[in-house]
Amino acid sequence: MRSALKKAYNPFFLIPAAAIYLIFFVLPVLMGFILAFTDWNSYTTELHFVGLHNFVEAFNHRVIKVAIKNTLIFAIISTLGKNIIGLMLAIFFNEKFRLRNYARTIFYVPSILSSVAIGLMFTSILHPSGLLNTALKAIGLDFLAHDWLVEPGMGIISVAFVEIWQWAGYHMTIFLAGLQAISSDYYEAARIDGAGWWTSLRRITIPLLMPAFSVNIVLSLIGGFKVFGPVYVLTGGGPGYSTQVVSTFVFKAFGEGNWALGNAANMILFIVIAIISMTVLRYLRKKEDEIT
């Protein structure tokens, strides 16, 4: 049996996968890192080493502070929203009732739709004279109507809620997998001891869902920090720079021919995502170990 396993998992089969990963991921990242230290742009014919100039320029750029603030706001709101709503949906759809599989599918479907299509749909819904404001005014809630994508401070929050709408169902499926792995014996023992629904949730469900929380929170944070599509489609980073995020800053830098500056900002974003994600994952893994 041992020889059969060795034959089935011959390490030579890893070579094509490793080569693809090296060519399409590792090399572009390394090239981008190297080019971030040059004066590469649309106007130069020769590359010159400029040290940390591009990184300093990226940090001192008039837009970067707004972009960083918006990226943080988006990442925090979308991570909280996707996980809280995803957990609530998972708990609800873990119960047995007719048509629950169809209902699960309905909530999951948005995650496989194009972000561009969803952005265009919500552009019309969130327009000042769009469906949302029209509905609010029709039921006498005029004071709740806003210019959702235009008002300062409101635009990035509105985009975050569109992101939550699209991905909450995806995170629901991960929580569902975790819930279905929890033995019913725990809940039966809790009921015998007189524990109610809320106590069971706090003492059994949430602690035993820590692996699912780890996956969902890290995925949400990574997606939040590198957001581009929803912001670009819904607001284009505007009005002005009010909804600019780091990825749209990088996109605009490349569009203006400041390729080295764009690479520097992209490297900064990559490093920040890696540090925050590894820190959060390490903390959550520690919590998992404490539970087990």
Tens digit of each residue's pLDDT (9 = 90 or more) over 145-178? 888 888 878 899 999 999 999 999 999 999 999 9
Spatial separation of the C-alpha atoms in residues 89 and 125, rounded to whole Å: 24
Q: In whole angstroms, what is the distance from residue 217 CA to residue 82 CA?
A: 9
| CA dist., res. 41 & res. 260, Å (int) | 6
CA distance 204 to 91: 13
Bridge partner residues of 38 (DSSP): 49
Q: What is the pLDDT of residues 200-242, one digit of tens each?
A: 888 888 888 999 999 999 999 999 999 999 999 999 888 888 8
Confidence of residue 292 (pLDDT cuts 50, 70, 90): low
Measure the CA–CA gap between 101 and 93, rounded to whole angstroms: 8
User: Does residue 103 contact residue 93 with C-beta atoms inside 8 Å?
Assistant: yes
Report which DSSP code applies to 239: S
CA distance 169 to 158: 18
What are residue 49's DSSP bridge partners?
38
**Whole-number pLDDT of residue 122:** 92
Q: What is the residue-averaged pLDDT of the chain?
A: 88
- pTM of the entire predicted model: 0.88
Specify the higher pLDDT residue, 182 or 7. Answer: 182
- Fold classification of 62-291 is MetI-like fold (1.10.3720)
**In which band, very low, low, confident or very high, does the pLDDT at 130 lie, cut at 50, 70 and 90?**
confident
pLDDT at 1 over 50: no
Mean pLDDT value of segment 121-141:
89
Q: Torsion angle, CA of 25/26/27/33, rounded to 10 degrees?
A: 110
How confident is the model over 41-76, as pLDDT tens digits?
A: 888 777 888 888 889 988 888 888 899 999 999 999
Residues paired with 291 in a beta bridge: none
**Average pLDDT, integer, range 235-261:** 88
Domain spans, the chain: 62-291
